[in-house]
Amino acid sequence: MGTWVKETDEAFYLMQGNQWISRIQKRPSAANPNERVLNVEGMRDWFLRADSPLAMTVSVGTGGPEPEQAGSSGGQTPPPEGETPPPTDGGTSPVDPGSGGEPAPEPAKSLTLRVKSTTYFKLQPKLAGELTDAEKVLVTNGTTLDIQYYIDVGKNHWQVQLLEPTLGDKTNRSWYVYTPDIDVLTGVRLRVISDTLFKTEPKISSQLSESQKLFVKNGTQVNLLAFKPAAGDHYEIELADAIAGAEVNTKWYVYSLDTKVDGNRQTLEVTGDTIFKARPVQASQLSDADKVLVKKGTVFLLNSYAQPESNHVRVALQGAFLGPQNRTSWHAYVPDIQISGTELGNRPSDQGPGQPTNPADRGVAMSFPGFTGTYYSNDPIQPKNRYGVRGNFTWGEALHVNRSTGAYRRPANAGVIYNILKVADAMEEIRKMYGDKPLKINSWYRDPATNAAVGGASMSRHLSGDAVDFVVPGVRCYDVYARLNGWWGSRGGLASSSVFTHIDVRGYRARWSYGY
């Protein structure tokens, strides 16, 4: 039997054979007691697949038993909340790839939770048995809920803000949920391409105890909330799926060469209680309608963000409507936020000109907007650096001078030059950290045409001259990222691919991996 649709008293099911692979729960209509309401989002992605059928068999009538989920054990009672299901083979079974044939999610257009195991949504982050019936509502597995944001409050609980108050008496939007019982549809997928281990630290497996690692089969696919570079060519990952064997711990390290990451996602995380504002001014200058308090740990899906202004970043939230006017666009105070993830198509492949072979020759003559006089490609950006000696990075490296033709990437304005000076100062520090070892510049300033040609992000910091992609010869790029991460802090952005490390001086914390 192929794929077909089944209706019961409780739900509509997308069936594969005699088991369901996707489900839409029915719920009472608030407007008409004779009607039932369906949230079709849970099945929409399946029918958008290129290989989805154009016609399907549909069952007639209701009243039959509810079908079992594909891949489920059938007939087993879920363990009590807070307990882990017992292993079937002494605790050493590998993670099974796939989840009953469900397709990988489309790129997320909003934050959406999917209930993996029937669970309680609660008004307090406590065990369900400690709460009254009025303080909890049972939500069945397969239910999907759009949320505006979530806050990790610890003890395996999130506080989630629903987009619509659809649970319980339909008056509350804010609920707590036990995280091992839910998945998040993120649009970022990690595929295991060689048998590997999820690890609690980015170390070789022989340095870890059995309790610090989890075997994962080739072919396993999991959704991710986030992934970043880590030491030893590892990814630091945060699971969106509650996969077998990793239910309680969602944060792991995995060897990057054993995996592939597909998809893109940008998030804004609030790192300290802050106020989002309609304008980049002191909160006391704004009316209550033009500001909203946001708690530390809140995570939003990010649509876009602009350059800093008055120590604030203007952000456009995706699927989150805050304050009495339901705003999605706000100014966030830069010390209180961090941005993670990379936008779609950001895979730069630029190449720098290298150091001049004859520094005594001053090289190609150049002129800069807003500056008088002539500059030369082989001259140091800093005639004297912070250590009191001649700077190590040249204008030719920053502006990608072609020595044979004399062409270079002409700065759009004087601000580009000032930004190059700031980046050069940071690069001098990095060079010193590596024992004054020469660094290879892959990409510094990019004019718009060059940025598009080399696959840079549409809002790349390279367009402003305040970013550089570089290599420390003989040191793995992920190790460079890991070493610089704490040192760079919230001074700017830091990222890595397997072939270069990126740093920029944007003035607020941003971290990501390019995924290649």
For 335-350, how does the pLDDT look when each residue is reduced to its tens digit (9 = 90+)? 999 998 877 667 788 8
Whether the per-residue pLDDT at 373 is higher than 70: the answer is yes
Of the two residues 84 and 210, the one the predictor is more confident about is 210
Write the DSSP symbol of residue 322: B
Fold of 111-185: SH3 type barrels. (2.30.30)
Task: Identify the three-state secondary structure at position 201.
Answer: coil
- SS3 readout for 366-410: ECCCCCCCCEECCCECCCCCCCCCCCCCEHHHHHCCCCCCCCCCC
Question: Averaged over 284-307, what is the pLDDT?
Answer: 91
Distance, CA of 234 to CA of 256 (rounded, Å): 5
Distance, CA of 338 to CA of 509 (rounded, Å): 5
Give the domain ranges of the chain.
3-66, 111-185, 189-262, 267-340, 365-513
Looking at residue 82, its pLDDT comes to 37
Please state which of the ranges 19-33, 141-155, 190-204 shows the lowest mean pLDDT: 19-33
Please state which of the ranges 13-22, 299-308, 369-378 shows the lowest mean pLDDT: 13-22
Whether the per-residue pLDDT at 454 is higher than 60: the answer is yes
Write the DSSP symbol of residue 96: P
Query: 136 vs 113, 132, 150, 165, 166, CA distance in Å?
Result: 17, 7, 18, 14, 13
Question: Averaged over 362-389, what is the pLDDT?
Answer: 93
Confidence of residue 236 (pLDDT cuts 50, 70, 90): very high
Token pair in block for residue 225 = 């909330």
**Region label for 171, one of left (φ > 0), alpha (ψ between -120 and 50) or beta (otherwise):** alpha
Confidence of residue 79 (pLDDT cuts 50, 70, 90): very low
Whether the per-residue pLDDT at 293 is higher than 90: the answer is yes
Terminal-to-terminal C-alpha distance of the chain: 40
Percentage helix, strand, coil for the chain under 3-state DSSP, each rounded to 5: 15, 35, 50
Looking at residue 244, its pLDDT comes to 61
Of the two residues 139 and 29, the one the predictor is more confident about is 139
Token pair in block for residue 22 = 């996707």
Confidence of residue 309 (pLDDT cuts 50, 70, 90): confident
Burial class of residue 404, CB neighbours in 10 A (0-12, 13-18, 19+): exposed
Confidence of residue 84 (pLDDT cuts 50, 70, 90): very low
Query: 321 vs 316, 370, 416, CA distance in Å?
Result: 10, 42, 35
Other C-beta atoms lying within 10 Å of the C-beta of residue 475: 14
Q: What are phi and psi of 79, to 5 degrees?
A: -70, 160
Q: Which CATH number fits domain 365-513: 3.30.1380.10, 3.30.1300.10, 3.30.200.190, 3.40.50.720?
A: 3.30.1380.10
Whether the per-residue pLDDT at 422 is higher than 70: the answer is yes
**The domains spanning 111-185 and 267-340 adopt the same CATH topology:** yes
Of the two residues 116 and 366, the one the predictor is more confident about is 366
Confidence of residue 475 (pLDDT cuts 50, 70, 90): very high
Q: b/e for 144-168, b at 16 or more Cβ within 10 A?
A: bbbbbbbbbeeebbbbbbbbeebbb
Do residues 449 and 201 touch, judged by C-beta distance below 8 A?
Answer: no
Residue 198 CA from chain centroid, whole number: 19
Q: Which of 179, 181, 78, 81 has its CA nearest to residue 130?
A: 81
Confidence of residue 360 (pLDDT cuts 50, 70, 90): confident
Write the DSSP symbol of residue 117: S
| Most confident segment among 95-109, 226-240, 349-363 | 226-240
Q: b/e for 208-234, b at 16 or more Cβ within 10 A?
A: eeeebbbebeeebbbbbbbbbbbbbbb
Do residues 319 and 110 touch, judged by C-beta distance below 8 A?
Answer: yes
Looking at residue 460, its pLDDT comes to 84
Residue 406 CA from chain centroid, whole number: 41
Confidence of residue 264 (pLDDT cuts 50, 70, 90): confident
* Residues 6 or more apart in contact with residue 174 via CB below 8 angstroms: 159, 160, 161, 162
Distance, CA of 122 to CA of 175 (rounded, Å): 5
Q: How many helices (H) and strands (E) does the chain have?
A: 5, 34
Q: Which CATH number fits domain 267-340: 1.10.357, 2.30.30, 3.30.2320, 1.10.20?
A: 2.30.30
Of the two residues 20 and 424, the one the predictor is more confident about is 424
Residue 423 CA from chain centroid, whole number: 25
Residue 174 CA from chain centroid, whole number: 23
pTM of the model: 0.72
Confidence of residue 116 (pLDDT cuts 50, 70, 90): confident
